A and B are shown apart, each in its own frame.
Chain A
Amino acid sequence: MTDRAPGFSTLAIHAGAAPDAATGARATPIYQTTSFVFDDVDHAASLFGLQAFGNIYTRIGNPTNAVLEERVAALEGGTAALAVASGHAAEFLCFHALLQPGDEFVAARKLYGGSINQFNHSYKSFGWNVIWADPDDVEGFAAAVTPKTKAIFIESIANPGGVIVDIAAISAIAKKHNIPLIVDNTMASPYLLRPFEHGADIVVHSATKFLGGHGNSIGGLIVDGGSFNWVGDDRYPMLSKPRPEYNGMVLGETFGNFAFAIATRVLGLRDLGPALSPFNAFMLLTGIETLPLRMQRHCESTQKVAEHLQKHPAVEWVSYPGLAGDKYEALAKRYTPKGAGAVFTFGLKGGYDAGVKLVSNLKLFSHLANIGDTRSLVIHPASTTHRQLTDEQKIASGAGPQVVRLSIGLEDVEDLIADLDQALA
């Protein structure tokens, strides 16, 4: 291979996946093992001391998982990645490497509901305090930063769909305050948008969604952009201070521009333990090989379904940045020129009852709480995920009684439109 930079589809198939060194197996083998024999005692010591590259125990690393890690690092244009058990585990290990008790981070208010829960409630037990900011008001992020702020967290295309966030503008605020910007790129996937190109420092994924793409495996990734200087001062002691766990090693110094990914592995994953099963890594890898093709089709069909619904008499509004005149049209042109993703919301004129009826009448769309599947998915938040909220709270979080969310799959788009039409009739 020359030093020519390979294209995205080539990386989606080849990055990280040379033939197996031991057997020549061409597809990535599933190394379904807990542990790896050491070559000798000295080798074992080198591995435990982080002095050699290699495998010890699947909670810390595994060759199948490593292919997934290098693959996603390459697709995002990062220096390294870490695969973990879920998207939530990825977020958790990220913050674990950055925050001490009493620290704060600023997060966009429009996020996957599970992330909002994680930040609002679970993280409080660790003394990590979230400060919310509105992703449509960039200046709000600047106002929310205090001396205790250690990171900013946003989604690239934000839940519940149809929101494009101005990553470069928020990155400028992060850079001004010398804190890393973490971008959850789950909804876009690196095919549609690569946050590092817009100033992000860390990317996280729920690989459960478009990366895997087949609705069969939970998994998550942390990708290191290699751009942040962790060792300038003492604000990030996991990276800048001698680690007692590793004989006084300073990870930020020893591992240079991939130190963050290493820290999440050797301090986070090793000690907190949310390891990804190698079988899931294999499933996710197989999914990623067709990511470019799938995303093209996802976006093409979503555009058609959104345009169709916009004209439908039972529909009051459609929120999809690919539509002419949408609030996020300009940001979508800039950040996601290949398509605005496959998840969006629309409002039914008939309100709550119409939403319940639609979900019950659909034959091809599956009623469930996931996105990014080959299958088309539907959810009526007001009667499911947001059921416990008051009407005012529902409306504030974009889950009013009339709101329906779709994740458009890879079926024939004519069949999807026909299904929606019969269910809305």
Chain B
Amino acid sequence: MMNHDAYPDSLIRDILKSVKRIALVGASANEARPSWIVTKYLLDRGYDVIPVNPGLAGQTILGKTVYAALKDISGPIDMVEIFRNSEAAGPITDEALALDPLPKVIWMQLSVRNDEAAARAEAKGVTVIMNRCPKIEYGRLSGEIGWQGINSRILSAKKPVLAGKGFQKLTIHRPGT
């Protein structure tokens, strides 16, 4: 059973390095909302983010078509990111577990935690991360978050790696990590 109070950095890094296609449930078209900001950040980092929100189905967010539900998305999804409250995370997890093929990861946003749902997902071999923000984690592991004076809790004598688009983006593909 995974310890959901403290994840090793290596686990988070492996997830963020391996997933490509992310369905983001609870997507928002409002630029001041955390879910919009995370969608934008992940798209900028090269992830294929598919917004899910029944109220916005058929519209686009950041150029990406919004789907009403996970089951409407065609093709495999690597990770389902849940941007809803902890209670709603239960049924959304079940919708994710009804997908074929299964997603590799179910990730519940910072402040979202549903241990029963996590247990159901883990029973099917799906990795679960809860109460974390993928943008914060990416920023922490790449070193970018330090630019805002935030404690990354990571020490390294290895040079951070520029993402190659200007000087203000770093990647998590760092040597020695």
Contact = CB atoms under 8 A, between A and B. Distances in A.
Interface stretch (A13-21, A292-300, A362-370): A13-21
A66 B162 contact: no
Contacts of A89: none
B144 A61 contact: no
A20 B161 CA distance: 10
Interface stretch (A252-260, A343-351, A353-361, A410-418): A252-260
A49 B9 CA distance: 28
A49 B31 contact: yes
Contacts of B165: 39-40
B37 A51 contact: yes
Interface in A232-280: 242, 246-250, 253-254, 256, 258, 261-262, 265
Interface stretch (A70-78, A144-152, A315-323): A70-78
A126 B165 CA distance: 45
Interface string A61-99: 101011101100110001111110000000000000000
B32 A53 contact: no
A24 interface: yes
Interface in A110-168: none
B12 to A, nearest CB: 11
A22 B161 CA distance: 8
A143 to B, nearest CB: 36
Residue of A15, A19, A36, A70 with most partner-chain B CB within 10 A: A70
B169 interface: yes
Interface string A42-63: 0100110111111100000101
A265 B136 CA distance: 18
Contacts of A52: 41, 44, 168
Chain B interface secondary structure, helix, strand, loop or mixed? loop
A337 interface: no
A49 B31 CA distance: 8
A82 B154 CA distance: 18
Interface residues of A, number: 58
B149 to A, nearest CB: 3
A195 B84 CA distance: 34
Contacts of B26: none
A55 B166 CA distance: 12
A70 B147 CA distance: 9
Contacts of A20: 159
A101 B139 CA distance: 37
A83 B149 contact: yes
A65 B148 CA distance: 9
A110 to B, nearest CB: 30
Contacts of A69: 149
Contacts of B139: 53
Given A55-B168, A253-B34, A262 B148 contact: yes
A34 interface: no
B41 A66 contact: no
Contact of A246 (B32, B145, B147, B155): B32
Contacts of A19: 157-160
Contacts of B136: 256
B143 to A, nearest CB: 6
Contacts of A26: 157
A47 B147 CA distance: 12
Interface of A: 1, 3, 6, 10-11, 14-16, 18-22, 24, 26, 36-40, 43, 46-47, 49-55, 61, 63, 65-67, 69-70, 73-74, 78-83, 242, 246-250, 253-254, 256, 258, 261-262, 265
Given A256-B110, A261-B150, 7 more contacts: A6-B155, A11-B155, A16-B152, A61-B148, A66-B146, A70-B146, A70-B150
7 contacts: A15-B151, A79-B151, A80-B148, A81-B151, A246-B32, A262-B148, A265-B149
